[in-house]
Amino acid sequence: MLKVILIASGKGGTGKTSLTASAGAALAQLGRKVLVMDGDCGLRNLDLVLGMSDAAVFSFADAARDTVPLTRAAAAHPVIAGLHLLTAPAEPPTLTNAQMEHLSRSADEAGFDYLLIDGPAGLPEELSLYAHIATQGIVVTMPDPASIRGAERVARRMEQSCIMRIRLVVNRVRPRLIRHGLAANIDDVMDAAGLPLLGLVPEDEDVIACAGSGKSVVQVKKTGAAQAYRNIARRLEGERLPLMKF
């Protein structure tokens, strides 16, 4: 049964695309068939982060409208078996809920276990299209007040869209700042966002270096953010894992 997970945030640049790419890669490494979809139409970059900018010709809008079959629109990752990409159209498309349902049904029929939607920042119109088919939500925030406030707003919007299971990922965690009282601690972030925690991802330069070279950090590293993304993938699979110690 396909799980459709919408990854969103209030503020931009919180780490949605990095999470989509790396959690998708980690789920594929666990043997799952994963479709990652770029839902950030104006600012699409999931293809770049995955090193697949030349791979995809058709967008999710083509697959939703049934202009091409989903199996043709989805491009297979050149290295990671089981990972597939669906890119965004250049402009936010006008699609109906029924067309989005067609997209998720096609992904289910094609044998995908996961459809991870790399959402746009904030609350643009297309978010409700994605929320319509999402069975779960992940809100990504950094531990600063502006991101946390944005996370809270997006969380409430997802709840209104009747997404049953919404969890929080706190990204770019810097334990030293938390220890010195210079950043919100994780309990405070969870309280403010009003969501249970799916995972903590540490600040890690390798995330930036890997994105620049079109590789996922989980392909090249075992520790730091790579381990955090792997743990998140295992929690999505239903495993109970303790939070990473910093």
Q: Cβ distance 4 to 133 under 8 Å?
A: yes
Structure tokens, 105 = 């049904």
Q: Which does 44 bind (CB under 5 to 8 A by kind): Mg ion, ligand ADP, none?
A: none
Give contact residues for Mg ion (rule: CB under 5 A): 16-17, 40
Question: CB of residue 40 vs ligand ADP: minimum separation in angstroms?
Answer: 7
Q: Which two tokens stand for residue 42?
A: 């104006």
Q: In the complex with Mg ion, which residue's Cβ is closer, 102 or 129?
A: 129
Q: Which entry of ligand ADP, Mg ion, none binds 207, CB below 5 to 8 A by partner kind?
A: ligand ADP
Determine if 203 is a binding residue for ligand ADP (CB under 6 A). yes
Bridging pattern class, strands 83-86 and 75-76:
antiparallel
What does 77 interact with, of ligand ADP, Mg ion, none (CB < 5 to 8 A by kind)? Answer: none
The least CB distance from residue 68 to ligand ADP, in Å, is 26
Q: Which is nearer to ligand ADP, 13 or 42 (CB)?
A: 13
Residue 152, token pair as written in the block: 């809270």
Sheet holding 83-86, edge to edge: 75-76, 83-86, 34-38, 114-121, 3-9, 136-141, 165-173, 197-202
- Residue 163 engages ligand ADP in binding (rule: CB under 6 A): no
Among 79, 164, 182, 208, binds ligand ADP (CB under 6 A): 208
Q: Does 17 bind ligand ADP (CB under 6 A)?
A: yes
Of 34, 73, 201, 226, the one binding ligand ADP by CB under 6 A: 201
Identify which of 113, 125, 145 has the alpha carbon closest to the alpha carbon of residue 26. Answer: 113
For ligand ADP, the binding residues (CB under 6 A) are: 9, 12-18, 171-172, 201, 203-204, 207-208, 211, 225
